[in-house]
A = this chain, B = another copy of it.
Amino acid sequence: MYTRRVQYYETDMMGIAHHANYVHWMEEARIDFMDQIGYPYRRMEAEGVMSPVRAVSIQYKKPCTFGDEIAIFVSVEAFNGVVMTIRYEMTNEDSLICEARSEHVFVNREGRLVRMKRDMPEFCDIIEGLLKSDGH
Contact = CB atoms under 8 A, between A and B. Distances in A.
Q: Chain A interface secondary structure, helix, strand, loop or mixed? A: mixed
A28 B8 CA distance: 8
Given A12-B9, A13-B11, A42 B67 contact: yes
Q: Tell me how many chains of this kind the complex includes.
A: 4
A55 B99 CA distance: 10
A20 B24 contact: yes
B7 A27 contact: yes
Given A60-B52, A60-B55, A12 B20 contact: no
Interface string A90-133: 00000000000000000000000000000000000000000000
Interface of A: 7-9, 11-16, 18-21, 23-24, 27-28, 31, 40-42, 50, 52-60, 63, 65-67
Of all A-B residue pairs in the complex, the 5 with the closest CB atoms, nearest first, are A57-B57, A20-B23, A11-B13, A19-B53, A13-B15
8 contacts: A7-B27, A9-B12, A9-B20, A13-B15, A19-B53, A19-B56, A42-B66, A56-B57
